[in-house]
Amino acid sequence: MIGKVMTGKSFGGCVRYVVQKLGAEVLDWDGVRTDTVASMVADFNLQRKLNPGLEKAVGHIALNWSVHDKAKLSDRVMVERASEYMEKMQITGTQYLIVLHRDREHPHLHIVYNRVNYEGKTIPDRFQHRRNVRVCRELTERHGYYLAPGKGQVKLERLKGADKAKYELHDAIRQALPKAGTWQELESLLRGKGISIDYKYKRGTQQVQGISFRMGELSFKGSSVDRSLSYGAISRQLDQQHSKQEKLVSPGSRQHSPLSQTASPFSGITTGRNLTPGLIEGLLAPATGQAADANDYPFRKKKRSKKKRIRL
């Protein structure tokens, strides 16, 4: 379930677009007559006069579900979800229309509401985009609607402005993250894509509390782009990847132990004398974790060992 939030100045243009769409059907309403488009527009405009100073009195929201949710959605259920959505978005005590559209493959409807409520007060739109994301996610999870993994099925060509930038950020960070083992490496990878990272510190300390990603003039908190892109979540992933990288290059790891290599472990070593069995044993001892006996080193005279020679 995804919501797109808009505000405007003209009830006439918005209502005509929503209601006169081919196949459109008014499912629910409050405070307006629905016999004609002219009646709807007149009723909305009459109420907006209670607060003439509010220029953008038109509220418009498009609610979209996935094609995978068709079997779960009837007209009645969609009206229930729209009502639940408006309540959580604090759009209450005002005129509205809920209109079903059938011009797309996926189920979707439009809500037109008056930002001037019945008491003449303004329904605020501050932080509305952020609240919309949270509410849609909450309703999607609560009612078991389809959630596209990694936001991969969102049609970016239909998004604009901040919504489009947020999805572009999500994809760019997700592509760069598996290639990094530290924050510095992640910063470098994202810098090449025109993205910078801003850190939020605990007051008076160097302790990082959160991050924001900046692209051009737009900036978003990591958790608002996606829950998996918060400072804590990214730090855990970077730590895991860094640990894997260290294990791969560690000289004591099994796959990189000198004894397990096909090539000679002594290539490139210059001693100024021939490699004797004792010298080989001395060189191998540290790598195998066994303490070498001083008598095994060739720098002291000793009787020739009867042990089988090690063939190089």
Enumerate domains of the chain plus CATH numbers: 2-147 (3.30.930.30), 158-249 (no CATH), 263-312 (no CATH)
Q: Two tokens at 204?
A: 């008076």
pTM: 0.52
The pLDDT value given to residue 247: 75
Q: How far is CA 67 from the centre of its chain?
A: 22
Helix (H, G, I), strand (E, B) or coil at 114: strand
Number of residues written out for the chain = 312
**Rounded-to-integer distance, Cα 91 and Cα 89, Å:** 6
* Sign, CA torsion 28/83/57/20: negative
Burial of 18 (0-12, 13-18, 19+ CB in 10 A): buried
User: Cβ of 173: how many Cβ atoms within 10 Å?
Assistant: 22
Nearest to 60 by CA among 107, 137, 115: 115
The CA distance from 228 to 250, in Å, is 30
Nearest Cα residue to 208 out of 187, 183, 188, 191: 183
pLDDT string in tens for the chain (312-residue length): 899 999 999 999 999 999 999 999 999 999 999 999 999 999 999 999 999 999 999 999 999 999 999 999 999 999 999 999 999 999 999 999 999 999 888 999 999 999 999 999 999 988 888 899 999 999 999 999 987 655 555 555 566 677 778 888 888 998 999 999 999 999 999 999 999 999 999 888 989 999 999 988 889 998 888 878 999 999 999 998 888 877 776 655 444 433 333 333 334 444 444 444 454 455 455 444 444 444 444 444 444 545 455 454
CB of 238 closer than 8 Å to CB of 183: yes
Structure tokens at 312: 């190089």
- End-to-end, the C-alpha distance of the chain in Å comes to 68
Sheet holding 195-201, edge to edge: 195-201, 208-215, 218-221
Distances in whole angstroms, Cα of residue 216 to Cα of each of 30, 134, 191, 202, 251:
42, 24, 12, 26, 44
